[in-house]
Amino acid sequence: MVWGAFVTKGKSELVVLEGRQNPGHYIYTVSEHLLPFAHKHYGTDFVFMQDNASIHSSNETRMFFQEIGVQLLDWSARSPDLNPIENVWAILSRKVYGHAYCCRHESLELSHHEQAARSFGHHAGSLLRSCAKNGDKTY
């Protein structure tokens, strides 16, 4: 699994996550990767968009965001088409799985990881430009 984020001002690094994820793993990823990235671009005043995956919507995760003062964007449970990063993940998945690797670990070899990182930035930027025609918005 890969984690990443983007805003109109830039993209985060892509982080390869090992094994099955749970709320504790997600909170660690957010603490180590999202918060420094978001604070760099927006300080502590930002709204975070995530989908309703169980590790994102667990009580533990919601309490974590509440305790650190991060506002979450409320939205419908079944509307991945409204989340710009879902389009990026779909494009990256087609690129990675289009190579027909025999196991998941092979598909994350460095050269393909670098290619995915370049694609992430390119596609994230394109999607944000199309979403944020009315000024600087955070998605």
Give the Cα separation of 11 and 13 in Å (integer). Answer: 7
Tens of pLDDT, residue by residue over 26-78, are 999 999 999 999 999 999 999 999 888 899 999 999 999 999 999 999 877 66
pLDDT in tens, 64-94: 999 999 999 987 766 766 778 888 888 888 8
- Confidence class for position 19, pLDDT limits 50, 70, 90: very high
Q: Nearest CA to 61 among 39, 28, 89?
A: 28
* 21 to 9, 54, 81: CA distances (angstroms): 28, 10, 23
Residue ranges per domain, the chain? 2-131
Distance, in Å, from the CA atom of 21 to the CA atom of 53, rounded to the nearest integer, reads 11
pTM, two decimals, is 0.71
Question: What is the dotted CATH code of the domain comprising 2-131?
Answer: 3.30.420.10
Q: What counts of helices (H) and strands (E) characterise the chain?
A: 6, 6
